[in-house]
Amino acid sequence: MTALPTQRLESWRYTDLRALNAMSFAEAPAASLPDGLPDIGVPRLVFVNGRFDEAASSALPFARNFAAVDEVSDLPLARINAEHAHDGVTLEIPDGVDAGVVLLVSYANGGALHPRHRVSLGAGAALTLLEVVKGDGVYWHNPVTDIVLAQGASLAHYRLQDESQEAFHLATIRATVAADAAYESFTAVMGAKLSRAEFHVELTGAKAHTHLNAAQLLGGSQHGDFTSVVRHKAPDCSSRQTVKSVLCDSARGVFQGRIEVERVAQKTDGYQMSQALLLSPTAEMDIKPELQIYADDVKCSHGATIGALDEEQVFYLRSRGIPEDTARSMLIRAFLTEALEPVTHEGAHALFEAAIETWWARK
């Protein structure tokens, strides 16, 4: 049995998992699907407490049966997931097929869930995967998603983490991106008492590209950690990361971003930006950018800003008759714009817009 990582591990320095010790790692109880889960008129796959709900799901030609997990990494949470995983989505898109949009909905309301999702795209294939996670009450969701993109494939991966405010959400997303392939992702973090989204993206072929954007919207005593490791292992690859955090009350946001550029990865173009708006004096943001560059002809930049809303801008809007709360929400929405850029699908974009609005109204 693998133990939970502690803060003595450098990669877990800012996120304390001790609260999980009191939780069972065991399977979640069976539960029924609540009403009102998202539906944007596209094929939908539904998981309830970690189990595939066939009746609520669409039949997809490229869905495969779940296969046993063989975990080779030393990532503690992926190992724990492997020890308990018994279900998950497996999508295999054949060469040259544009599989359109798939909505993956996960709902939970108790226990521990360790789904193992696998998505592989053949050469030149395309898919938009919109993931929405929701729940009620206390539970631990520990999903691992493994993504393999063959040459020229393109995956748009949008995630809305809207877990119960009492839940724990620790997601690991790993993607291998071959030559000319693109992994475009955006994660919105609003839910969970404690959450981490950990991305490991390997750019293994020339001109592979990734976008790893996120918006963390946290209040109360929520803790949200967005951690990414991008490995440039081939020449002419590009990676873009824009992570925006809006923190209210005593919420705490973390961004750890590492870009590794191997010796062979000449002409790498890497960009990383982390910006946080602190809307309360007790909110906290921790940012740790890391660049490890072994090639000599690369363009890599990173930046970080932490600040408050510009009161001059708030006044300008109010002087035009816009109520203060609306003015602040407009400026926050504007702050998030750049992070949402990879979300080109209209239905998905509208879903995120609505979620951001709902968040602002309830914060």
Partner 1 sequence: MLEIKNLSARIGDKEILRGVTLSVPDGEIHAIMGPNGAGKSTLSYVLSGRDGYEVTGGEAIYNGQDILALTPEARAAAGIFLAFQYPVELPGVGNANFMRTALNAVKRARGEAELDAVAFLKLARAALKKLSMQDDMLKRNVNVGFSGGEKKRNEVLQMALLQPGLAILDETDSGLDIDALKIVAEGVNALRSETFSALVITHYQRLLDYIVPDKVHVLAAGKIVRSGGPELALELEARGYAGLEAA
Using CA atoms, how far residue 173 sits from 39, 119, 155, 226, 314, in Å, is 23, 11, 13, 11, 38
What does the alpha-carbon distance between residue 159 and residue 352 come to, in Å, rounded to a whole number?
A: 9
Q: What are the beta bridge partners of residue 270?
A: 239, 300
The secondary structure element, H or E, covering residue 327 is helix 324-336
Q: Does 67 bind partner 1 (CB under 8 A)?
A: no
The window from 55-63, 104-112, 162-170, 330-338 that contacts partner 1 (CB under 8 A) reads 330-338
What does the alpha-carbon distance between residue 229 and residue 11 come to, in Å, rounded to a whole number?
A: 10
Nearer to partner 1, 16 or 338 (CB): 338
Q: What are the beta bridge partners of residue 203?
A: 177, 232
Q: Does 337 bind partner 1 (CB under 8 A)?
A: yes
- Per-residue binding letters, 192-231, with partner 1 (x by CB under 8 A): ----------------------------------------
Beta-carbon contacts of 78 under 8 Å, excluding residues fewer than 6 positions away, are 71, 144, 172, 174
Beta strand pairing status for 44-48 and 51-52? antiparallel
Nearer to partner 1, 35 or 312 (CB): 312
Q: Does 322 bind partner 1 (CB under 8 A)?
A: yes
Nearer to partner 1, 34 or 323 (CB): 323
Place of tokens 């969970």: 192
Among 35, 296, 297, 311, binds partner 1 (CB under 8 A): 311
Question: Residue 26, exposed/middle/buried by CB under 10 A (0-12, 13-18, 19+)?
Answer: exposed
| Minimum CB distance to partner 1, residue 217 (Å) | 16
How many residues sit close enough to partner 1 to count as binding (CB under 8 A)?
23
Nearer to partner 1, 7 or 344 (CB): 344
The window from 16-24, 132-140, 211-219, 319-327 that contacts partner 1 (CB under 8 A) reads 319-327
| Minimum CB distance to partner 1, residue 337 (Å) | 4
The window from 86-94, 187-195, 246-254, 327-335 that contacts partner 1 (CB under 8 A) reads 327-335
Q: What's the angle, vertex CA 199, arms to CA 293 and CA 304, rounded to 5?
A: 60
| Minimum CB distance to partner 1, residue 356 (Å) | 13
Query: Which residue, 277, 274, 276, 266, is CA-closest to 301?
Result: 274
Percent of residues in the chain assigned helix, strand, coil, to nearest 5: 15, 45, 40
Q: Does 290 bind partner 1 (CB under 8 A)?
A: no
Q: Does 70 bind partner 1 (CB under 8 A)?
A: no
Question: Residue 24, exposed/middle/buried by CB under 10 A (0-12, 13-18, 19+)?
Answer: exposed
Q: Does 279 bind partner 1 (CB under 8 A)?
A: no
| Minimum CB distance to partner 1, residue 134 (Å) | 28
Q: Does 100 bind partner 1 (CB under 8 A)?
A: no
The window from 9-17, 47-55, 123-131, 312-320 that contacts partner 1 (CB under 8 A) reads 312-320
Binding residues for partner 1, rule: CB under 8 A, are 311-313, 315-324, 326-327, 330-331, 333-338
